[in-house]
Every structure is written in C-alpha cells, then in structure tokens.
C-alpha cells in the first residue's frame, strides 16, 4: 500500500513540476526572447529559423531523445523520464494557446527573475523525486556510459552550443538576461534538491565534555558522539563531542554549551545531508 502511495505522490509532484516548467516558459521566457539551454532552447532556435511550432518541435525532440535513452540507458531510466517527456510539451501547448498569459509583464528583468526561480523550482522537484527532466540531459548520460566523458562537461558543452545558436536572433540585452536566468535557475535547483536535508554539525572540545554530553543527550534530546583525540601543543588526551542538529536549533544548542563552559572550543559547519536514526528514520528504529 505504501509503495502505491509513494508512486502516486511522486507522480503528482512530477505533474505539478511540469506544469510549473511549461507555465514559466510560456509566460516569462518565450515572450521576452530570453535565451535558455536544453531541448526548449533548441526548440526556440528551430521556431525562429524554420518557423516550426515550439510545442511540436519540443515533443518531437523529447520523443527522439527518450528513444535514445531507452535504447542506450535501459528501461529503468526511461520510466523516470516518460512523464516529463510528454507532460511538459502538452502543458506548454496549452499555456501558449492563451495569449493573455504572454503579456503578464513587460519587464524583462522581472521575467528573468521569476522565470529563473520558477524553472529552478520545477526542475528541482523533478530531480528530487529521483526522476529526470529528459531532453538534453540524455545525450551527456549516453556519452558518459559509452565513452566515460564527464556528464557535467558534456552537459555544459551542449547547453553552451544551444545558447550560442540563439545569439544570432537575440539582442545583447536578451543574452545577458539569459546568463542571469541560467545562473539563477542553477542556484534554485540546488536549493530545492537540498531543501529540508541540510543540517548543522557542532564539534566541541571542552573539559566539561561529560556535562555537555549529558545535557545534549537528556535535556535537548540530541544524538551525540564522543571522539577520542589529543591536543597538538601539549599532547594531552582529550575527548571531543560531535553533535548534528537542525539549523533552527543550532543557536540554542550553542548557547547551552557556552553556558556550561564559556571557554569551550566550538566549530559549527553546514552539512548538506544526514542519514541515520533520528534523521532519515525514527530514533527508536531497530537494526
């Protein structure tokens, strides 16, 4: 039952993400001629030079790339891309049919910012679900599998080439806004993927380590690890306390430690993800 619930919830999120992607391109990107990479960028180029309908060229490209992915990368990969392959062009054609949506704003800067944020949210949600947006993500994955070419290198190469094809019919301003749009999209994608998984790690060196350990464990209900170490200057054996907590609680935890030992040496660092009891599954989970 849980498996089907997870499948349904994942499909609904991917559905919503593709609606966001289509809405963004139709309302903010295409009306202002902001350049972008990927299959959408290539379709924008084909629309300009060959007068091919944007939605039509996009679905043809997506299907061709989907078939390539199916042939070279297998069924499992194909299943993660099939929804985006067809949903995104379908919703894009719907939004493009409403002329009023293309005139939401005449401000190209506002469109760039909103477009970058919304596209980043849509792509981030799809990737967070373990799915793929398909399109031009597929050729780099194939090149990596066949020739061991780094995915990031070939992906940026393809995107750069696609962006360059649009410079021929774009103004300098549109190109500059396109660069801003790409940077903003990448930033938001990373934020969405890591949202809710980032934590703070405290590393504490103090003579009052036992009291700090007990307070964190029993009063604040936090997981704690003791680490045996040696000071460099005096070569004295010392115990350190390692604790991982949520970003919201880090300042209150720090205040408690400072109250116990004002001279405690504390480092606080941000970690992208943490797994284990108390975080990715219940603290009382049996091994």
Q: At what angle do helices 138-147 and 54-73 cross, to 10 degrees?
A: 20
pLDDT in the model for residue 276 = 66
Round to whole Å and give the CA distance between 3 and 54.
Answer: 37
**What is the per-residue burial (b if ≥16 Cβ within 10 Å, else e) of 61-71?**
bbeebbeebbe
Give the span between the Cα atoms of 78 and 132, in whole angstroms: 9
Tokens of 178: 């396109």
CATH 2.60.40.10 fits 199-271, yes or no: no
Given this model, what pLDDT does residue 277 score? 62
> Which residues lie across from 240 on neighbouring strands?
205, 227
Between the CA of residue 256 and those of 57, 158, 214, 265, what are the distances in Å? Answer: 60, 52, 12, 13
Q: What is the DSSP string of 101-133?
A: GGGS---HHHHHHHHHHHHHHHHHHHHHTT---
Averages of pLDDT over each 10 residues, the chain, 287 residues: 78 91 92 89 90 89 88 79 86 90 88 93 84 79 83 80 88 90 86 77 91 90 89 86 87 90 91 67 53
Domain ranges of the chain: 2-194, 199-271
Burial degree of 160 (CB within 10 A; 0-12, 13-18, 19+): exposed
pLDDT, residue 258, reads 92
- Pick the closest to residue 11 from 19, 98, 1, 89 (CA basis): 19
């Amino acid at each position: 039952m849980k498996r089907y619930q997870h499948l349904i919830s994942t499909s609904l999120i991917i559905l919503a993400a593709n609606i966001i992607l289509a809405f963004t391109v139709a309302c903010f990107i295409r009306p202002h001629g902001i350049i972008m990479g990927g299959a959408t960028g290539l379709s924008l180029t084909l629309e300009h030079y060959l007068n091919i309908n944007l939605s039509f060229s996009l679905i043809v490209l997506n299907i061709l790339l989907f078939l390539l992915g199916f042939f070279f990368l297998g069924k499992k990969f194909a299943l993660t891309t099939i929804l985006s392959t067809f949903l995104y062009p379908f919703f894009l054609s719907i939004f493009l049919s409403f002329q009023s949506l293309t005139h939401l704003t005449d401000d190209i800067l506002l469109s760039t910012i909103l477009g970058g944020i919304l596209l980043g949210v849509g792509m981030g949600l799809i990737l967070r679900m373990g799915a793929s947006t398909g399109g031009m993500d597929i050729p780099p994955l194939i090149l990596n599998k066949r020739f061991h070419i780094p995915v990031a290198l070939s992906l940026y190469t393809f995107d750069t080439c696609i962006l360059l094809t649009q410079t021929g019919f774009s103004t300098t301003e549109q190109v500059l806004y396109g660069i801003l749009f790409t940077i903003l999209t990448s930033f938001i994608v990373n934020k969405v993927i890591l949202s809710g998984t980032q934590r703070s790690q405290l590393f504490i060196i103090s003579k009052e380590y036992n009291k700090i350990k007990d307070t964190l464990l029993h009063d604040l209900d936090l997981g704690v690890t003791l680490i045996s170490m040696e000071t460099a200057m005096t070569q004295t054996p010392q115990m350190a306390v390692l604790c991982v907590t949520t970003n919201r609680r880090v300042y209150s935890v720090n205040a408690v430690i400072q109250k116990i030992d004002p001279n405690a040496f504390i480092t606080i660092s941000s970690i992208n993800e943490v797994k284990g009891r108390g975080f990715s599954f219940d603290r009382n989970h049996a091994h």
